């Protein structure tokens, strides 16, 4: 279900964060941006609601690879009743953690693209979350001569980049 009323969705997320910070005694401030202003300038996230968190306890959110940030995003997406495939429309960040990670992924995509072009061989990234895999797929959209696919299962799922028309492509089309 798409976000139809950005103001109402932002208010629900704000109420959730107010409860979380009050009851959890977290020293956090937040700023919620919804609609066109929330768009990712790099185009790697499909976000329509962007929540920036700051304050003395913001570092708690970025520990363990941003696990708590992702959890907050998940809960917020559930609160505003987004379908699972639309969860990436809500994005939380603290200390530019996710923005820096997005830049890392974009740089990794550029490096991998160069390697795939030079060797003609597929390049497999380390396993990562579905959101980060999506960001890699989007980063590769600008390369007309390369393709990507996800492989593996569950927590071991990863992205593979390869030249367009490579055997991976042919094997996928025969299935």
**Domains of the chain, earliest start first:** 6-95 (3.30.300), 103-174 (3.30.1370.50)
Confidence (pLDDT) at 168: 57
Q: How confident is the model at residue 174 (pLDDT cuts 50, 70, 90)?
A: very low
Cβ neighbours, 10 Å, residue 160: 19
Q: What region does 35 belong to: left with phi over 0, alpha with psi -120 to 50, or beta?
A: left
The model's pLDDT over 34-43, given as tens digits with 9 standing for 90+, comes to: 998 888 887 7
**Residues 42-101: tens digit of each pLDDT:** 777 788 999 999 999 999 999 988 889 989 999 999 999 998 888 889 999 999 998 888
What backbone phi and psi angles, to 5 degrees, belong to 156?
-100, 15
Question: Between residues 154 and 94, which one has the greater pLDDT?
Answer: 94
Q: Cβ neighbours of residue 50 under 8 Å, at least 6 residues apart? A: 32, 33, 34, 37, 38, 91, 93
Q: Would you state the pLDDT for residue 36?
A: 87
What is the per-residue pLDDT for 58? 95
> What Rg value do the Cα atoms of the chain yield, rounded?
18
pLDDT at site 87: 83
Nearest to 76 by CA among 97, 96, 61, 90: 90
């Amino acid at each position: 279900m798409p976000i139809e009323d950005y103001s109402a969705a932002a208010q629900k997320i704000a109420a959730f964060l107010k409860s979380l910070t009050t009851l959890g005694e977290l020293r956090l401030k937040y700023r919620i941006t919804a609609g066109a202003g929330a768009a990712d300038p790099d185009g790697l996230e499909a976000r329509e609601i962007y929540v920036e968190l700051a304050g003395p306890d913001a570092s708690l959110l970025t520990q363990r690879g941003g696990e708590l940030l992702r959890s907050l995003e998940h809960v917020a997406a559930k609160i505003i009743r987004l379908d699972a495939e639309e969860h990436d429309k809500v994005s939380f960040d603290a200390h530019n953690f996710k923005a820096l990670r997005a830049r890392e992924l974009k740089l990794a995509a550029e490096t991998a693209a160069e390697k795939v072009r030079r060797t003609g061989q597929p390049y497999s990234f380390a396993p990562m979350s579905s959101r980060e895999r999506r960001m890699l797929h989007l980063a590769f959209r600008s390369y007309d001569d390369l393709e990507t696919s996800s492989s593996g299962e569950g927590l071991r799922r990863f992205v593979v980049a390869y030249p367009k028309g490579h055997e991976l492509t042919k094997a996928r089309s025969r299935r």
